[in-house]
């Protein structure tokens, strides 16, 4: 079996979009949960913008995930994590998750990274990366994000609870909490004033 390579996707990977969408749809049926439905064009754009990670074994599709930004780039999600059935059980999901997480942290170092998941394996990976379970109130209030839940079979739960709870667990990585020390608010305010003065 060929080595599986995990890489940031580009325009040359658009030929894999249809199998990615099919694999995501089939996995959602098996799990009995919804996944935000995405179009061919949407995923192709993510690839062109270097906001997607693909795993290939030679020229065979093995796995995928992509990044979305919300709330004026204050929040980032790594979404649509999928491993093709032929390549499961080899730790590939973790390799893809690690790559999308690194890509997100590199591109948006101050953004909070969050995840909504009902999968135990994803929860375990998120925990290893430093995510904490949170209430939905701690996540983005960007309506465009929450519209992604419309395609889920459990959306009635989300609506019934006024978007406070659902089947998924909200998990959040806050870069501020991973600093070795926390600066006092008055120091942060002082720095902001200095920065503002320097920008004028």
Write the pLDDT tens digit of every residue in 85-122.
Answer: 999 999 999 999 999 999 999 999 899 999 988 888 88
Contact in structure between 64 and 101 (CB atoms under 8 Å): no
Provide mean pLDDT across the span 52-74.
95
- In the chain, pLDDT over 70 holds for what percent of residues? 94
Q: Is residue 178 exposed (0-12), middle (13-18) or buried (19+ Cβ within 10 Å)?
A: exposed
Write the pLDDT tens digit of every residue in 141-184.
Answer: 999 899 888 878 889 999 999 999 898 999 999 998 876 667 77
* Separation of alpha carbons 111 and 174, rounded Å: 7
Residue ranges and CATH numbers for the domains of the chain are: 4-198 (3.40.630.30)
Contact in structure between 79 and 67 (CB atoms under 8 Å): yes
Q: What is the DSSP track for 176-198?
A: GGGSSS---HHHHHHHHHHHHHH
* Separation of alpha carbons 102 and 42, rounded Å: 22
Mean of per-residue pLDDT scores for the chain = 89
Q: Is the pTM of this model over 0.75?
A: yes
């Amino acid at each position: 079996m060929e080595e599986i390579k995990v890489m940031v996707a580009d325009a040359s990977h658009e030929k894999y979009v249809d199998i990615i969408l099919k694999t995501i749809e089939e996995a959602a049926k098996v799990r009995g949960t919804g996944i935000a439905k995405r179009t061919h064009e949407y995923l192709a754009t993510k690839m062109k913008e270097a906001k997607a990670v693909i795993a290939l074994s030679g020229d065979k599709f093995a796995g995928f995930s992509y990044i979305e930004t919300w709330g004026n780039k204050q929040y980032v999600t790594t979404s649509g994590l999928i491993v093709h059935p032929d390549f499961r059980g080899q730790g590939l999901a973790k390799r893809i998750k690690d790559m999308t997480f690194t890509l997100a942290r590199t591109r948006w170092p101050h953004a909070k990274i969050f995840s909504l998941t009902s999968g135990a394996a994803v929860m375990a990976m998120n925990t290893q990366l430093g995510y904490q379970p949170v209430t939905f109130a701690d996540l983005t209030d960007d309506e465009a994000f929450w519209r992604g839940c419309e395609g889920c079979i459990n959306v009635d739960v989300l609506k019934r609870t006024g978007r406070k709870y659902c089947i998924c667990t909200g998990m959040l990585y806050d870069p501020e909490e991973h600093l070795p020390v926390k600066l006092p608010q008055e120091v942060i305010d002082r720095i902001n004033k200095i920065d503002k003065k320097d920008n004028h």
